[in-house]
Amino acid sequence: MKTIVLANQKGGVGKSAVAVQIAYFFSLVKNKKVLVIDFDHQRNTSKSIKVGNYAKVSNTPSSNLLSQAGLKLDIADSFVLVQADNAELLKMEKKADSHNLYANNLKNFLSTLNNMFDVCIIDTNPNPDIRQLCALVVSDYVLSPIQLNQEAIDGIGDLLNHDTTGIRKIQSAINPKLKFLGILPNLVEPTPFQRDNFKDLATHFSKLLIPLDVGFAAIKKTTAIPEAQALGLPVWKLGKTSGREAWNQVKPVFEKIATMMELN
């Protein structure tokens, strides 16, 4: 089982939409067995997948994966969601003496699923707390959706070099197998401001972007993806021209990520 975490130091970048749509991609297009874990107390990933009814939903909330030892998945299916719970997830940062235990519990839980799933997708909260740290500690890959604004670009340094949850820190001290797939510009608009920011990003952080046959991976802003999210649908099943156009643009990005994760 390959585990990928979606992580960012800033909210509102469409991270959960990427998590949901790539989960549908792996399940329905690549025919992979998919586990989705939602650690974000906003629960956007959980809500969308539950509405769509493509996945079976575990009765175990995601906070239990961190707080309980010896936990086993309570459901068998080819597409499973472990949904977020609000209150318990928010309490975890205040329990500093349990943080090592949380990481070990999650690692042990995932180790029981190696032969049950092909890919595990973990959505995390935007602030760098224990939930994001635990996900990074146990994962094979990390993908970071961002928006093309100066604040997000300036935040790339924190994403890589934060004292506790920085990717480079985790790679060197805790999880040397963790591979940074790259930053993925999301909600991209054809404005001069965003074009300049993308150019700046490609100039200064080209090694952090995901290369495609032409240019770098990015996902354009469209009404189709949020509409698909609200209905719990894969964007290509939206039944509209906008959905098909969005899928034609997104599919090469997801195909590239699948190739980088050796999941073709």
Q: Is residue 9 over pLDDT 70?
A: no
Structure tokens at 58: 């575990």
**Location of structure tokens 């080819």:** 78
- Residue 10's pLDDT is 66
| CA-based torsion, 21, 26, 31, 35: positive or negative | negative
215: nearest Cα among 258, 264, 253: 253
Q: Is residue 151 over pLDDT 80?
A: no
Instruction: Let me know: does 146 contact 18? Beta carbons within 8 Å.
Output: no
3-state SS, residue 79: strand
The per-residue pLDDT for range 67-80, each reduced to its tens digit, is 999 999 999 899 99
The per-residue pLDDT for range 106-133, each reduced to its tens digit, is 999 999 999 999 999 999 988 778 999 9
- Residue 187's pLDDT is 78
Q: pLDDT higher for 27 or 91?
A: 27
Structure tokens at 247: 């899928």
- Residue 250's pLDDT is 96
Kindly list the distances between the CA atom of residue 46 and the CA atoms of 4, 25, 66, in Å, as whole numbers in the listed order. Answer: 17, 16, 17
Instruction: Let me know: does 57 contact 83? Beta carbons within 8 Å.
Output: yes
The per-residue pLDDT for range 171-213, each reduced to its tens digit, is 999 999 999 999 998 877 778 888 888 888 788 888 889 999 9
CB atoms inside a 10 Å sphere around CB 190: 8
Structure tokens at 10: 């800033």
Q: Is residue 153 over pLDDT 80?
A: no
Domain 2-260: CATH class, spelled out? alpha beta
Instruction: Let me know: does 83 contact 41? Beta carbons within 8 Å.
Output: no
Domain assignments of the chain as residue spans, ordered by start: 2-260
Contacts of 199 (CB under 8 A, 6+ apart): none
The per-residue pLDDT for range 32-50, each reduced to its tens digit, is 999 999 999 999 999 999 9
